[in-house]
Structure 1
Amino acid sequence: MSATTLLKWITGICEALLAIPIAGGAFILSGGWQPLLFMFVFHLIVLIISINQKQFSSGSVVGMIANAVGIIPIIGWIMHTITAIILIVDAGMSTAKKG
């Protein structure tokens, strides 16, 4: 499994956890919105690594957008859900290709 695929799995799972309606919101609020900043930077790192490995990750771009607008409650929840789905499907397809 490539580093990009592994990072897609990790970011997808993290986004899915942030998408849990009450728990994800409580985690973000309790952290003073720092989890959104962390995930934005994490998606940026994954995007840079994936570009270097010639495996562009649209999920990372969507993830950066999701974390930028994540401070808006309902829109943030929807964006985190969409991002998690995109990343997990992309990681699953990458895993299936390699395996």
Structure 2
Amino acid sequence: MIISQVMQLITGIFEGLLGIPLFGGAYIMGSGYTPLFVMLILHIITLFLASRDGRWIAGSVLGIVTSILGFIPFVGMVLHWITCIVLIISVFQPKRY
């Protein structure tokens, strides 16, 4: 695996953890929404790496949107789920070119 795939897998797992009902929301709110900011930075880094390596970037772009809108109850939870799935699928996709 190349580093962009590892980052996609890591951010996908983190998104899945943040999407766990009650736990994810309590963790995010209890931490002063800092996990959303950290995930935003990780998604930007992953986007850069995936783009550089010719990997799929949809998961990272969706992750950036999720990090921005993740503070909205229920909407954030569903966005975390969707982002998790897209990122994990992206790991196993072939290069774009």
Common fold: TM-score over 0.5: yes
The aligned counterpart of 2:41 is 41
Amino acid at match of 2:42: F
The aligned counterpart of 1:91 is 91
* TM-score after normalising by structure 2: 0.92
SS in 1 for 2:78: helix
The aligned counterpart of 1:76 is 76
The aligned counterpart of 2:54 is 54
- How many percent of aligned residue pairs carry the same amino acid? 38
CA distance in 2, matches of 1:93, 1:55: 8
* TM-score after normalising by structure 1: 0.90
CA distance in 2, matches of 1:53, 1:89: 16
CA distance in 1, matches of 2:53, 2:90: 15
Q: How many residues align?
A: 95
Root-mean-square deviation (Å): 1.3
CA distance in 2, matches of 1:77, 1:11: 15
1:32-83 deviations in Å (ceiling 9; x for gaps): 0010010011000100111111224110000000110001011100100000
Amino acid at match of 1:38: V
Structure 1's consecutive aligned runs of 4 or more residues displaced over 3 angstroms after TM superposition are: none
CA distance in 2, matches of 1:51, 1:89: 16
**Gapped regions of structure 2 (runs ≥ 5):** none
Higher helix share: 1
Amino acid at match of 1:7: M
Given that 2:40 and 2:64 are in contact with CA atoms closer than 8 Å, whether structure 1 keeps it comes out as yes
SS in 2 for 1:20: coil
**Gapped regions of structure 1 (runs ≥ 5):** none
CA distance in 2, matches of 1:28, 1:14: 12
